[in-house]
């Protein structure tokens, strides 16, 4: 088990910019989160590990997306709720989850229940596990969940959600993986991420792309190169789906995300990056985080309407994170 500095034992109810988190048992609910991509100055380039994620889906037309996640370590359950504007039509829902196990996985690692239905996912990718002994291998699974989502209507929005259970987690009592006896018992379920694609009549034209895979990065720098399509109107944004995130260090913050476009490098997150901010039912110290991050960044002010090449850089000293997916959208509101 990894060593974490400065462990706190206080649980908190957090409300961050645009994100509402409820830890009330038995369900966890998450609403869309977005962090503005504001300019905080240039940084020095660092050696990087290119992320090997594969393009899975492209949607071109009047499309938009929403995404959220939960941490499921030592519980294997939770609920994800996402809101989309009223008047939009749901097109597709994709659920991703990660499991740490041995080189030969448990037969149930790719299975879970969604709103009471047993679903078997598709193995997307595998690779070395992060630093949680005795796990040797990390697995990413995907399942289409459009038909099993429950929905509700609110004032000006539609809600779609999933109650997840039946995961292969060996420990299911919700105790902290940092302090629990037997915390290294396999398999270890780690993170769950929901991506919704929907049509949006307010959009003139957009492109939404989903990249998926599994790649662990050990206490260093990860990068991803993305060529933004041209857009006539609207914004540009991206989301990362990352497992095993936790807080490392205190102030000054040591983790950051930078965005390079047109030769200019801008810090877009130097405070809340990859801290394990997704909610969880696991009783853990707030300081360590939930071991799951699903965050969205608006970079429309940094990407010209003509589009072009960009590089996203995640600086993660002192941590071991595993990238599950990236979602990009141009021409969205």
Residue 22 has pLDDT above 70, yes or no: no
Of 47 and 204, the one with more pLDDT: 204
Express each pLDDT in 220-241 by its tens digit.
899 999 999 999 999 999 999 9
Average pLDDT of the chain, as a whole number? 84
In a domain, 104, yes or no: yes
DSSP state of 303: S
What band does 260 get if pLDDT is binned at 50, 70 and 90?
A: very high
Q: Which of 283, 299, 213 is nearest to 36 (CA)?
A: 299
The domain tally of the chain equals 1
In a domain, 39, yes or no: yes
Say yes or no to pLDDT of 180 above 90: no
Q: Report residue 183's pLDDT band, with 50, 70 and 90 as the boundaries.
A: low
Higher-confidence position of 15 and 18: 18
Measured CA to CA in angstroms, residue 100 lies from 32, 132, 302, 319 at distances of 27, 8, 36, 16
- Do the domain assignments include residue 206? yes
pLDDT at 118 over 80: yes
In a domain? residue 196 = yes
Angstrom distance (rounded) from CA 60 to CA 8: 46
Query: Which residues lie below 8 Å from residue 61, measured CB to CB, with a gap of 6+?
Result: 199, 205, 206
**6 belongs to a structural domain:** no
Does residue 208 contact residue 288 with C-beta atoms inside 8 Å?
no
Note whether residue 4 is domain-resident: no
Is residue 326 a part of any domain in this protein?
yes
Residue 146 phi/psi, 5-degree rounding, is -55, -45
Place of tokens 């995907």: 142
Strands 320-332 and 235-243: antiparallel
Task: Give domain status of residue 1, yes or no.
Answer: no
pLDDT tens figures, 41-87: 333 334 568 999 999 999 999 999 999 999 999 999 999 999 999 99
At 284 the pLDDT is 63
Q: Which domain holds residue 80?
A: 15-332
Is the pLDDT reported for residue 35 higher than 50? Answer: no
Give this prediction's pTM: 0.87
pLDDT at res. 254:
76
């Amino acid at each position: 088990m990894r060593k974490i500095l400065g462990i706190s034992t206080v649980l908190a109810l957090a409300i961050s910019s645009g994100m509402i988190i409820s830890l009330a048992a038995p369900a966890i609910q998450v609403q869309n989160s977005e962090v503005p991509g504001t300019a905080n100055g240039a940084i020095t380039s660092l050696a990087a590990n290119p992320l090997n994620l594969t393009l899975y889906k492209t949607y071109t037309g009047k499309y938009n997306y929403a995404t959220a996640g939960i941490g499921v370590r030592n519980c294997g359950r939770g609920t994800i709720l996402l809101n989309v504007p009223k008047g939009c039509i749901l097109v597709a829902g994709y659920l991703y989850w990660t499991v740490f196990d041995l080189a030969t996985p448990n037969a149930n690692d790719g299975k879970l229940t969604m709103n009471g239905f047993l679903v078997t996912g598709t193995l997307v990718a595998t690779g070395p596990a992060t630093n949680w002994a005795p796990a040797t291998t990390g697995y990413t699974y995907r399942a289409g969940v459009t038909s099993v989502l429950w929905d509700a209507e609110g004032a000006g929005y539609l809600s779609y959600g999933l109650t997840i259970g039946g995961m292969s987690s060996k420990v299911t009592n919700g105790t902290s993986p940092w302090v629990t006896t037997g915390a290294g018992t396999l398999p270890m379920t780690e993170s769950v991420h929901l991506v919704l694609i929907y049509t949006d009549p307010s959009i003139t034209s957009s492109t939404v792309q989903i990249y998926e895979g599994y790649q662990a990065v050990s206490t260093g720098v990860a990068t991803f190169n993305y060529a933004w399509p041209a857009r006539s109107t609207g914004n540009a944004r991206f989301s990362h789906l990352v497992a095993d995130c936790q807080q490392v260090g205190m102030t000054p913050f040591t983790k950051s995300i930078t965005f390079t476009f047109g030769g200019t490098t801008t810090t877009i997150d130097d405070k809340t990056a990859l801290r394990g901010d997704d909610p969880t039912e696991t009783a853990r110290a707030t300081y360590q985080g939930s071991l799951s991050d699903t965050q969205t960044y608006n970079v429309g002010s940094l990407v010209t309407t003509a589009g072009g090449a960009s590089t996203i850089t995640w600086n993660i000293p002192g941590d071991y994170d595993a990238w599950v997916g990236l979602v990009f959208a141009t021409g969205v509101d």
